[in-house]
Amino acid sequence: MTKAMQISLRAGERIFINGAVVRADRKVSLELMNDVVFLLEAHVLQAEETTTPLRQLYFVLQAILMDPQNARPTLVLFEDVLESTLASFSNETVVSGLKFVRQMVAANRTFDALRAIRGLFPVEAKILESTAARPPRAA
């Protein structure tokens, strides 16, 4: 039996449910009574925010939730982006996190995969900071 999920939205906030966009005109609580695929507006990345490899991967994956009719070709793109992202990191936390993301997507648990990628954002930021702080090597 599926457990109902309670979601609270502020006035004007949007939620993406099974590809549909729902906007609340006032503060409201929703109770999702069955299994649905949803994404809160606060977790949606805009194209201009995809400035790092993990954010690009997240953006591709969120497209699967927001546009389920085009999920199949987007999954192919996701696999390509995932492979290049895996190749660009040697950090064990990121690599194991990305392998977990692959498992979640294979199990059709896209929301859990997105949550896992969001959890890797701070690790990626530290890696990018330390890389940017290093002086370039002389040729």
Using the predicted structure, report yes or no on whether residue 35 has a pLDDT greater than 90. Answer: no
Average pLDDT, the chain: 89
Alpha helices for 1-139 (secondary structure H)? 53-66, 71-88, 92-106, 110-133
Q: Which strands sit side by side in the sheet containing 20-23, from one edge to the other? A: 20-23, 14-17, 38-40
% of the chain with per-residue pLDDT over 90: 57
| DSSP string covering 115-134 | HHHHHHHHHHHHHHHHHHHS
Q: Delimit the domains of the chain by residue range.
A: 5-41, 45-133
